[in-house]
Chains A and B, each alone.
Chain A
Amino acid sequence: MIKIDIENLLKNIENFKAGDRLELTGTIYTARDQAHKRISKLVELKKELPFDLKNAVVYYCGPCPKSPDRIIGSCGPTTSSRMDVFTPLMLDRGVKILIGKGNRSAEVYKSIKKNKAIYLAATGGAGALISKKVKKAELIAFEDLGPEAVYKLYVENFPLIVVIDCFGNNVFERN
């Protein structure tokens, strides 16, 4: 288990192999089905995006609403494969780190390799536990989508497993 911030993970991305565990610190952005659809549309129309995709970390997550005494509600990962159709475009535009759960399509594997990106998994169904790792949360776009809105999160020591490394190796075949 390695504790690392996003900047250092990006610098040393080749050192992280499928099956490695890490605890990530830094700023990440939530986006799931409808947010991906809208971001893709904005890219197509060459309009301003809700966040800079260059070197960005995208977390497939639709959190629970927060109670007044909390930073965020339960916020575990959702199934990544639903975002597969949008992912090559996101990676081509500069996204480097993907966080979700489950396997990805062949196109996503290719794109991860091509763009030297990395795909990490959080434990699905551990949303209460993960919410304790979020230190700041701010809704930055698509408020009308409710739980599918884009949140900017600052996470500290977010526990993750490398599922697909930047060489396209995956944890599933390792087993």
Chain B
Amino acid sequence: MRLIDKSEIIFKVESLCADINFNLSEDVLCAVNKNIKNDGSLSDVVLSDIAENAKTAREEKIALCQDTGTVNLFVKYGRDIVLSDKSDIYSLLNEGVKNGYSKFFLRKSIVADPFERANTGTNVPANIYMDFVDGDKIEITMLAKGGGSENASALKMLTPASGWEGVKEFVINAVKEKGANACPPLIIGVGVGGDFASVGLTAKKALLRDIGSHNKDAKYDLRENELLCEINKLGIGPMGLGGKCTALAVFIEPKPCHIASLPAAVNIQCHSQRKKTIII
């Protein structure tokens, strides 16, 4: 068994809050730069702003976007770990987020009740997804997700007969309807299979792949490319102002499902993707 001091977890989560909010994922920045054509279009204006914004945020330690988001933590927790003072891992993770958002002047965007809408003032609770794995390490992936792109996301229970064409149509319609409001260029996570509760999480986890990475299943890799091409033909463009660069990537994650069902979810991510993984 490995003893981990609770303060180490709190401190590392705290630092991760600053790291992701000040530093745009390298894969996103690279993809944005690749799409700048120097043709004087509004598409170029927006993409150049995004690249310059990333530089300002990194150099001056200002949040990339004022919507510093809901914090999602995807945790792989080794079974051979003991925490100091019999601490509860969920509390430590929330403590780290709370401290990080306060210390680094990040916006607190969580309201305690959906109707009362009083701000918790701490940006917690975070969404914590825990997997127990072999070993004595904790892997933490943090994804801070803004409200605008989350609002453009969708879930649908399709029938098996609708197949890939049905899923494709559903994803394209979701982007067509609300993509312009979600700060394109977008990264699109698609979950297929599982059930009503799990498919949304599958779509969210799909967002964690790096842009440029290939799906390990060749059939899905082709489907990802097909969807990306179709989406970029919609003409929405950066910030919805027109152009060919509506999405930077589509990631599809399939799961086994019931004989009667074909659940599908699309989780839309804005260009300001704030994600990083650490191992403790």
A175's nearest neighbour on chain B, judged by CB, is B242
B59's nearest neighbour on chain A, judged by CB, is A128
A67 — which chain B residues lie within 8 A by C-beta?
105
Complex: A172 Cα to B184 Cα, angstroms:
14
A63 — which chain B residues lie within 8 A by C-beta?
66, 107
Q: Is the CB of B63 within 8 A of A74?
A: yes
A171 proximal to B (CB < 8 A): yes
Nearest CB on A from B247, distance (A)? 15
Q: Is the CB of A125 within 8 A of B181?
A: no
Q: Is the CB of A74 within 8 A of B119?
A: no
A174 — which chain B residues lie within 8 A by C-beta?
242
Complex: A163 Cα to B60 Cα, angstroms:
30
Complex: A82 Cα to B117 Cα, angstroms:
15
B239 — which chain A residues lie within 8 A by C-beta?
101-102, 121, 123-124
Tell me the chain A residues, 64-91 only, with Cβ under 8 Å from chain B.
Answer: 64-67, 70, 73-76, 78-79, 81
A19 — which chain B residues lie within 8 A by C-beta?
42
A131 — which chain B residues lie within 8 A by C-beta?
62
Q: Is the CB of B106 within 8 A of A64?
A: yes
Q: Is the CB of A147 within 8 A of B107?
A: yes
Q: Is the CB of A125 within 8 A of B57?
A: no
A64's nearest neighbour on chain B, judged by CB, is B107
B262 proximal to A (CB < 8 A): no
Name the prevailing secondary structure of the B interface residues: loop
A93 proximal to B (CB < 8 A): no
Q: Is the CB of B148 within 8 A of A78?
A: yes
Contact count band on A: 35 or more
Q: Which of A66, A125, A159 contacts B270 (CB 8 A)?
A: A125
B179's nearest neighbour on chain A, judged by CB, is A102
A129 proximal to B (CB < 8 A): yes
Q: Is the CB of B181 within 8 A of A81?
A: yes
Complex: A101 Cα to B146 Cα, angstroms:
14
Q: Is the CB of B181 within 8 A of A128?
A: no
B56 — which chain A residues lie within 8 A by C-beta?
128-129, 132
B46's nearest neighbour on chain A, judged by CB, is A123
Q: A64-B107, A121-B241, A126-B50 are in contact. Are A73 and B45 (CB under 8 A)?
A: no
Q: Mark B21-55, 1 if CB is under 8 A from A, else 0.
A: 00000000000000000000010011001101100
B241 — which chain A residues lie within 8 A by C-beta?
121, 161, 163, 171-172, 175
B57 — which chain A residues lie within 8 A by C-beta?
74, 128
A168 proximal to B (CB < 8 A): no
A50 proximal to B (CB < 8 A): no
Q: Is the CB of A175 within 8 A of B237?
A: yes
Q: A34-B117, A79-B151 are in contact. Are A127 and B49 (CB under 8 A)?
A: no
A61 proximal to B (CB < 8 A): yes
Residues of B within 8 A of A (CB): 42, 45-46, 49-50, 52-53, 56-57, 60, 62-68, 105-109, 117, 119, 121, 146-148, 151, 180-183, 235, 237, 239-243, 270-272
Q: List 13 A-B contacts (CB under 8 A).
A: A62-B66, A64-B105, A64-B106, A73-B62, A103-B181, A127-B62, A127-B63, A128-B56, A129-B53, A161-B45, A172-B241, A175-B237, A175-B241
Residues of A within 8 A of B (CB): 19, 21, 34, 61-67, 70, 73-76, 78-79, 81, 101-103, 121, 123-129, 131-132, 145-148, 159, 161, 163, 171-172, 174-175
Rank and list the top 6 A-B pairs by shortest CB-CB distance, nearest first: A175-B242, A102-B181, A74-B63, A128-B57, A125-B272, A126-B53
Given contacts A78-B147, A103-B181, A121-B239, 11 further A-B pairs with CB under 8 A are A61-B66, A63-B66, A63-B107, A70-B62, A74-B68, A124-B183, A126-B49, A147-B109, A172-B240, A172-B242, A175-B242
